[in-house]
Amino acid sequence: MRGFNYENNKNNPRISKNSDEMTLCSVFVKEFKIGLHPILKYYKDGTLHQRLMSLFMAIKAVDPKSAPGSLNVGEGLRTLKGQLLLRQFVFNRKLGIRQQLGNPEVNETDFSLSWSDFDPSSIRFPSSATHFELQYLVLTYDNKRNIFTTYTAVPVRRARKDEWEVLELRTEKAIVKKKGVQYFLAIGLRFLEILGEEEYPLLGQNAVGIEVLGVY
């Protein structure tokens, strides 16, 4: 009986195609993390890369158009199932952003976000935190070039004692919607201790949260 070896695997079309899919998925994860860097730079989790690989492999598997061996994440994300998998992905179980802030209204024309009753006092602050910072990103994904472009909004900071308000977040640079481009909406929340002009980012498990609001 022939054993498995590198040459056999390399010359097996099925194994080769599966390897290509895995490589493309890995590239997607890398670019996705780069796109999220303005938020991810505050979040330390050694398991995140592997969990994202598992997520996007599952999303790739629902690609309805490509032939087996040529499945790709971008097509999977055009399905409702793929988008649901991404929205439901939990970056940090210790800090659920929408659980505390509620779901914002999304303007699908310019991708601005708004909360009609944004209430900082409803947020569960870690014991030493005095403020939180909310950051909003829109990642545009070009499937043909397999790259993300990140649009950022000015981060919003609020204190424990701040009262409710109508809050709107929009990217500093206007987004021009293009055919064939996908738009990923993500928010990040982190807690800080601010004493006078001194800032101390919190480092606990419940100090930083990230969520994907949707794909358009």
Residue 14 located in a structural domain: yes
Task: Report yes or no on 198 lying in a domain.
Answer: yes
Distances (CA, A) of 77 to 14, 107, 170: 24, 20, 23
Rounded to two decimals, what is the model's pTM?
0.86
Structure tokens at 97: 């952003």
- What are the residue ranges of helices labelled H in 61-161? 73-76, 80-88, 97-101
52 in a structural domain = yes
In single-letter form, the type of residue at position 121 comes to S
- Cβ-Cβ contacts under 8 Å for 151 (sequence gap 6 or more): 137, 138, 139, 140, 171, 172, 173, 175
Instruction: Note the pLDDT tens digit of each residue in 154-213.
Output: 999 999 999 999 999 999 999 999 988 999 999 999 999 999 999 999 998 899 999 999
Is residue 1 one of the residues assigned to a domain?
no
Q: How far is CA 79 from each of CA 83, 88, 120, 138, rounded to the nearest angstrom?
A: 6, 14, 35, 19
113-155 per-position pLDDT tens digit: 999 999 998 899 999 999 999 999 999 999 888 889 999 999 9
Residue 31 resides in a domain: yes
Q: Residue 140: give the domain boundaries.
A: 6-215
| pLDDT for the residue 143 | 84
Q: Taking all residues of the chain, what is their mean pLDDT, rounded to a whole number?
A: 91
Is pLDDT of 54 > 90?
Answer: yes
Is residue 123 domain-resident? Answer: yes
Reported in sequence order, the residue ranges of the chain that DSSP labels E, i.e. its strands, are 105-106, 113-118, 131-142, 147-152, 156-159, 165-169, 181-195, 198-201, 208-215
Q: Does residue 30 lie in a domain region?
A: yes
Cα three-residue angle 125-96-59, rounded to 5 degrees: 160
Task: Over range 71-79, report the average pLDDT.
Answer: 94
> How many domains does the chain contain in total?
1
User: Which pLDDT score, from 0 to 100, does residue 10 have?
Assistant: 52
